[in-house]
Structure 1
């Protein structure tokens, strides 16, 4: 009977013989890790600045994937390829959960630790995250003032502005309801897409038709619940954002000149898909 330890050694030795990647693309090559892992350049002598940089860089990477999925989901909804859209939207909700938990890591930074690095941040601010702004616009929270932080970068401004001027995910879903023969007010099928979404009694009635007979409208019913999942996750992200900021800087103004916690608390009241929440009272 062979000794398990010797068997393990043999396996490791055999695997080791296969570990010469000098002639092929390696893990690091594929992921461009030389570029990714050398993109952290603290400006202060403070130990804790690395946390601040990595937190925000990884969040931007997750947001890049969110946008990748959201753009594809909007296209799928427009083409009535709903099973694919469901998978993409479910993935966006899971990404949002990752972003929620990321605040737990940043919250380990204490006020004195942040105060030590704050002077080195100059006017840089999360307000200037063009990816986050594009996500907000794609989910229907339109505000022309939010284009201004990107005016110094015409290339990025163009991308954010495209999302600002386009129908949101919810707008495209309402157009889908109309295609399926469910009455949706004309005011919500063709409108100025740059305006913030306004709740409608007619849209609520359209969703009530779906919710009162889910078997007859199963994929629309599932779409509604995917949207509720997404907004639920987004609300958690906003809540953790404001509580983390308050925990670390209190009510000081943000580095970009924003009101900080005051502004973030107002954002907690924003409802992206109002009728999907309102129908719950009616059912």
Structure 2
């Protein structure tokens, strides 16, 4: 009975057109809207190892989530610049849900044994997640900037130009500090193309946010940024443990030092002043 009801409802529901999907021979509106044929044609394993499909799909999903997170952080940056704190907090909150899914995505790769991974690892040559421009966009946006990394994209002018623009532009934390300055806190925001370095001036401003009633309204921003930072650390830690489990201490495929590099990354605090002042609160 339930099955019959579903079929009846489908026949009676008006056809919702998304582009060309409702035309004869074009497929369903849903398939057209989400580009199903293209999406499901992107997985092309190079080996007969079953685990390779999981590796490819998980990596592709991560790339899409990187784009979604960049979208939310861009909205947050714009809202902060416009002094619209509620909109900024909403975007950061949506972004943390995306981050949570990204962190959990490592579980799909952690199931691979070294034998399974080695069965196809050599087939992707020097390809490495370290080369992901979408991921690098996120790193630049949280202040982990390094202009030397643009060299990887010399053969991709459009991608290189986009990354260079993000490198030059105020990041998420820069915009937060600029808002603090406009609210009367002694911070001199300085956009830099280098990695953010901890500053006592910045720490003092956040300390006042958490200890002086006049600035208490900015505490949700500090906590939202800490939510972002904590999830970045979780991502890095999960990356480290997954690599350690699936390939051990071998050098990374892109030429990195593998576990040593991942360990250093996992130990690096994001938005460091927000962590440093916790000792005093």
Task: Say whether the fold is shared (TM-score over 0.5).
Answer: yes
Residue 12 of structure 1, aligned match among 2, 6, 17 = 6
1:191-240, CA deviations, whole angstroms, 9 ceiling, x for partnerless residues?
A: 5x1121111112111111110135x3344111110000000111101000
Aligned 1:1-283 pairs, distance under 5 A? 6=1, 8=2, 11-18=5-12, 23=22, 26-184=29-187, 186=188, 189-190=189-190, 193-214=192-213, 216-283=214-281
Partner SS state of residue 12, structure 2: coil
The CA distance in 2 between the partners of 1:13 and 1:154, in whole Å, is: 50
The CA distance in 2 between the partners of 1:131 and 1:167, in whole Å, is: 17
- CA-atom RMSD, angstroms? 1.7
Q: How many residues align?
A: 272
Once the two structures are TM-superposed, the CA of residue 177 in structure 1 deviates from its matched residue by 0.7
Q: Mean Cα displacement is larger for which, 196-205 or 127-136?
A: 196-205
The CA distance in 1 between the partners of 2:259 and 2:148, in whole Å, is: 18
Cα pair distance change 1:13/1:126, threshold 3 Å: closer
The CA distance in 1 between the partners of 2:200 and 2:10, in whole Å, is: 66
Question: Equivalent residue for 2:18?
Answer: none
Moved >4 Å (runs of 4+): 19-22
1:39-95, CA deviations, whole angstroms, 9 ceiling, x for partnerless residues?
A: 111112222111110010000000010111111111110111111111111111111
The CA distance in 2 between the partners of 1:72 and 1:98, in whole Å, is: 19
The CA distance in 2 between the partners of 1:223 and 1:229, in whole Å, is: 10
**Relative contact order, higher structure (CA 8 A, sep 6+):** 1
The CA distance in 1 between the partners of 2:5 and 2:202, in whole Å, is: 63
